[in-house]
Amino acid sequence: MHFVQRLLSQSKLPLTPKQFWWYALGYWSIFAIITFGQLSMLWILKEGLVMQYHETFIWLLDGLFWWSTTPLILYASLKVPIAFKERKTLLIRQVFLHLLIVTFLNIFLNSFHYLITNPIMFWAVGKSVPAEKYLFSLFMAYTASFSQYMLLVIGFNKVSYIYRYQALKQEHFKAELTNEQLRGQLATAQLQSLKMQLNPHFLFNTLHAVVSLMIKNDIRKATQMITTLSDLLRAVLVNQKADFIPLQEELKLTQQYLAIQQIRFQDRLKVEYDINPATELCAVPQLILQPLVENSFTHGISELTTNAVIRITSKIRGTFLIIEVIDNGVGNKQRKSSSGTGLGLKNTMLRLQQAYGNHGILDFTQPPGGGTIVSLSFPSQTKTKIQETNDLLLPYHR
């Protein structure tokens, strides 16, 4: 029974040992019934008699023998598979090996009859079968037994191949699903890590501005800035578990941050918006604009004494969402290169890569006439690649 279980496990057939023996009985019963009919007709035509009881007994023993050897035959078919796509020499070798096996089984069966069955039959009915009849039976039944044997071997090879192939596909699918889950979890963890670096970064910069106001003894502005900062942090905490939010929500966070900066700059700062309504529901990484705006202050318009302008635009170009943060700062003559943009912009580039791969682009340009344009470009979807992956994997986590 353990041997049969191991055989079924190797072949990937979805059968229990009990079912296996019933299927084997059905297979050999078909040929046994055909053989019984042939022998009966031969006896009728030859002698006008039907098969004797002892001859029927031998016929039953033959059927039981082949039925009992089914696991060995199938084991041989797994060890010496018949594959017609292989080289002819290898195919001939495989068929020859099976020919030897079926020859051995036939010799064993007839030797058993001669040495065991024949004496028992002589004791029971007083008749025995001469050795030459067993030899005659060996050669007469050899073709039929070989055909039945090879049909079972080839059929089992084919069915086993199908089930093993399906099992491999299932295992491959599970492995791919697991890898996809891990990739999604890794990407989400990396995005969260980058966001955790970003939030303290702009928080520390804002608190530094508050400290500067307090040193200047401008308590009113410092208090107003802390209050506005509190509102901003509250809005961030509402979406703290969301890596992606609609652009309109991101713009609200940016406006709150700009409100803090306008306390510092007052009449010197003008903020303009040119937002395409079609872009407002596009998903964007949370706090993706804040470091761009902060960069405009830190490296550009902070040195202007009047008429500082920050302009934020959004538009759809093909299948991509384009967001630009434009300022009229000192430009490329005095401003640091993009390689020195600091943690904010570096994290922004990394977050784009994590979320959109090669489709997420951060472009940093400084026109000859002055000012700077920082442009974000990524697929204009209401669900990002990371979100789609999480949605796909969600049913498997339940």
pLDDT bucket at 67, cuts 50 / 70 / 90: confident
The whole-number pLDDT of residue 352 equals 85
Is the pLDDT at 394 greater than 60? The verdict is: no
Higher pLDDT, 313 or 117: 313
The answer to which of 10-14, 70-74, 130-134 has the lowest mean pLDDT is 130-134
Q: Work out the burial of residue 398: count CB atoms within 10 Å of its CB; fewer than 13 is exposed, 13-18 middle, 19 or more buried.
A: exposed
Task: Look up the pTM and report it.
Answer: 0.48
Is the pLDDT at 40 greater than 80? The verdict is: no
The whole-number pLDDT of residue 184 equals 59
Intra-chain end-to-end CA distance of the chain, in Å: 38
| Mean pLDDT of the residues in the chain | 76
The whole-number pLDDT of residue 263 equals 79
Higher pLDDT, 48 or 242: 242
Higher pLDDT, 188 or 132: 132
Task: For 202-240, write each residue's pLDDT tens digit.
Answer: 677 678 878 887 888 878 888 888 888 788 777 766 666
Strand pairing class (269-275; 308-317): parallel
Is the pLDDT at 392 greater than 60? The verdict is: no
Higher pLDDT, 32 or 282: 282
* Order of strands, sheet of 308-317, starting from the edge strand that comes earlier in the sequence: 269-275, 308-317, 320-327, 372-379, 361-365
Strand pairing class (308-317; 320-327): antiparallel
Task: For 120-164, write each residue's pLDDT tens digit.
Answer: 766 666 666 666 666 666 677 777 888 888 888 888 888 888 888
Is the pLDDT at 195 greater than 60? The verdict is: no
Print the SS3 string covering the chain.
Answer: CHHHHHHHHHHCCCCCHHHHHHHHHHHHHHHHHHHHHHHHHHHHHHHCCCCCHHHHHHHHHHHHHHHHCHHHHHHHHHHCCCCCCCCHHHHHHHHHHHHHHHHHHHHHHHHHHHHHHHHHHHHHHCCCCCHHHHHHHHHHHHHHHHHHHHHHHHHHHHHHHHHHHHHHHHHHHHHHHHHHHHHHHHHHHHHHHHHHHHHHHHHHHHHHHHHHHHHCCCHHHHHHHHHHHHHHHHHHHHCCCCCEEEHHHHHHHHHHHHHHHHHHHHHHEEEEEEECHHHCCCEEECCCCHHHHHHHHHHCHHHCCCCEEEEEEEEEECCEEEEEEEECCCHHHCCCCHHHCHHHHHHHHHHHHHHHHHHCEEEEECCCCCCEEEEEEEECCCCCHHHHHHHHHHHHHC
What is the share, in percent, of the chain residues with pLDDT greater than 70?
73
Higher pLDDT, 246 or 199: 246
Is it true that domain 191-397 has CATH number 3.30.70.2470? no
Domain boundaries, the chain: 2-129, 191-397
How far apart (Å, rounded) are the C-alpha atoms in residues 182 and 185? 5
